[in-house]
Structure 1
Amino acid sequence: MKLSVFTVATPDLTPEELCEAASAAGIGGIEWRCKDTPAELRKEAPSFWGNNICTLSQHAEEEEISRFEQAANRSGMKTISITPYIQCGDIESTEQVMRLAKRFGASMIRVGVPGYNRTRNYNELYEEAIAYLKVVEQLSRHYGVKALVEAHHVTIAPSASLAHRLVSPFDPDCIGVLYDPGNMVYEGFENYRMGMELLGPYLAHVHVKNAGWQPPRTESSDPLQSQEWSCSWSPIANGQVPWKQVLRDLKAVGYDGWFGVEDFSATFDTRTMLQTYANQMKTWMEEIE
């Protein structure tokens, strides 16, 4: 089993600290969060999507690149992905991140998918995404880096089937899907194994996290009154994703790629989260062997 960590989930560790902690936990791969951090955010406390100090700048220069490379190399870690927040259609940023990925020897990056919020027709957004991915496919061939579409809520690819519809016109050696059951708790749930079977060669990477739906804190006594449930992140073992079953399904379809932790539950401190993740995944795999 190949375990990795997406550094969005380790915001309070420096690159050096992250590599040391991940390696000590038995995690061998790194997915560097890639985003420019505005100066005003750097004054804030570390957070997943704010002042994340384990983030590689999208416009990183040689000194910063060397620092991240050395941090990984000293701990025997492999950089498997440079993972940015690219907007669909932004070819310049896509190529910039692919160049970074090639420099690190990473095999993949994440690319942009249109969001969906009912203000624009899905079919228009789909055509825009296809036009973008046609260029991305060419860049992938040129740089030797696979582009991944993430199954993510509030986008036009929240499920395995809609992600498959988006990538199916393209070469699976160039464009694949980042399968994320935790995101699919929010939106996009389908039978896990059926979705994996549909994705076939496009199933390129898996993110590991969990979430769950909760009723309102104060429930109405009127059974006909609408109640608004809410979804939030959970520890990996305690949410609605039955991870042992998901691992069985991944094994059944022959998946042999990486499993990247992305735990947003804040249940444990970062170092404990990494060790808990590695221990839990190894235990589950032993149980399903």
Structure 2
Amino acid sequence: MSHNLKLSVFTVAAPDLSPEQLCEAAAEAGIDGIEWRCKETAPHLLNEQPSFWGNNRCTLSPGASDNEINRFAQAASAHNRQAISVTPYLACGDIEGTEQIMRLAKRLGATMIRAGVPGYDRSRNYNELFDQATDYLREVEQLARTYNVKAVIETHHQTIAPSASLAHRLVSTFNPDHIGVLYDPGNMVYEGFENYRMGLELLGPYLAHVHMKNAGWQPPTDTPQAAQQDPLQPIEWSAGWRPIANGQVQWKQVLRDLKAVGYDGWLGLEDFSQTYDTRTMLHTFAKQIRTWMEEI
């Protein structure tokens, strides 16, 4: 991985900026790639304060009109930023929706979309869900070939692909030119942690993209001292988002491991810690990553 690192931002993490403001802020921070969040925003959300998954002002709708598509395309080109991904919240099996997103990606010049993966909540057997997902991905692979847009599945907690190895198991029968994995160590704090380098070595050519965020585990704040000292008293630990440098993911080690496997793709910021305002976060992130890269 060279020092002229390719940094991108997933706009889910910039809910208070318009597409134009986001591209301007990314340019100022030296972040070249834009991953557009893609989801319908329900009308009742538009009156709310901006938030990551609610009234996110930096979101493209799946059924975007020509005007809306042009607006997002122009926001990027005005500041010489590159749309690298259209990132929706597709359900596994939604072929029509997947094709719609691929068409959108094609029009924006993006080379990647996020495909759907079944959730896992103990209500359905993993093996059934795995079969359902591979049937879907077989059709997605054809679409990816047609549109020349890669479909990636993300390592994500509470799905059947929480770890590098389970994501690999899901994609391993497909052509890595068309189907890949979005590697997200921050999600793997919640579920799916494996030695980073081992996971990256296993993924090999399927490693398509990396998201950078962080999380950490803590006991409940209201646990009485006595309960904490009782070895037989169960304590419900929970995970939450943390700033990039001080969660459980040792990012400097992950960067070393990415370098070791020869990864030369994008590093996408997706910080949910709310440590900084959006513009400061973009600057801080870019500076932090460049510093770490020089140190390794």
TM (norm. structure 2) is: 0.97
Q: Which residue pairs with 1:101 in the alignment?
A: 105
Q: Which residue pairs with 2:148 in the alignment?
A: 144
Written as runs of structure 1 = structure 2, the 5 A alignment for 1:137-176 is 137-176=141-180
Q: 1:181 aligns with which of 179, 185, 205?
A: 185
Structure 2 unmatched ranges of 5 or more: none
Whether 1:253 and 2:257 are equivalent positions in the alignment is no
Report the Cα offset of residue 223 of structure 1.
1.5
Q: 1:229 aligns with which of 216, 225, 237?
A: 237
Q: 2:84 aligns with which of 63, 76, 80?
A: 80
The letter for the 2-side match of 1:196 is L
Q: 1:67 aligns with which of 64, 71, 74?
A: 71
The 1-side partners of 2:137 and 2:85 are apart by 18
Q: Which residue pairs with 1:277 in the alignment?
A: 285
The 2-side partners of 1:174 and 1:68 are apart by 25
Report the Cα offset of residue 12 of structure 1.
0.2
SS of the residue 1:177 aligns to: strand
CA deviation vs aligned residue, 1:2-52 (integer Å, no higher than 9, x gap): 000000000000000000001100000000000010100111110000000
The 1-side partners of 2:174 and 2:68 are apart by 34
Whether 1:135 and 2:139 are equivalent positions in the alignment is yes
The 1-side partners of 2:112 and 2:66 are apart by 21
The 2-side partners of 1:238 and 1:271 are apart by 20
The letter for the 2-side match of 1:95 is E
Cα RMSD (Å): 0.5
The 2-side partners of 1:254 and 1:97 are apart by 30
Structure 1 unmatched ranges of 5 or more: none
Please, which moves more after superposition, 64-73 or 216-225? 216-225
Runs of 4+ residues over 4 Å off in structure 1: none
The letter for the 2-side match of 1:252 is A
Whether 1:27 and 2:31 are equivalent positions in the alignment is yes
SS of the residue 2:87 aligns to: strand
Written as runs of structure 1 = structure 2, the 5 A alignment for 1:190-229 is 190-217=194-221, 218-219=223-224, 220=227, 221-229=229-237
SS of the residue 2:43 aligns to: coil
TM (norm. structure 1) is: 0.99
Report the Cα offset of residue 222 of structure 1.
1.6
The 2-side partners of 1:238 and 1:192 are apart by 17
The letter for the 1-side match of 2:254 is V
SS of the residue 1:33 aligns to: strand
Whether 1:244 and 2:252 are equivalent positions in the alignment is yes
The 1-side partners of 2:27 and 2:170 are apart by 35
SS of the residue 1:53 aligns to: coil
Q: Which residue pairs with 1:54 in the alignment?
A: 58
The letter for the 1-side match of 2:161 is A
The letter for the 2-side match of 1:92 is E
Percent identical pairs in the alignment equals 73
SS of the residue 2:110 aligns to: coil
Whether 1:4 and 2:12 are equivalent positions in the alignment is no
Report the Cα offset of residue 96 of structure 1.
0.1
- The number of residues matched between the two structures is 288
The 2-side partners of 1:131 and 1:258 are apart by 28
Whether 1:287 and 2:295 are equivalent positions in the alignment is yes
The 2-side partners of 1:91 and 1:54 are apart by 25
SS of the residue 1:205 aligns to: strand
Report the Cα offset of residue 60 of structure 1.
0.2
The letter for the 2-side match of 1:201 is P
The 2-side partners of 1:223 and 1:142 are apart by 58
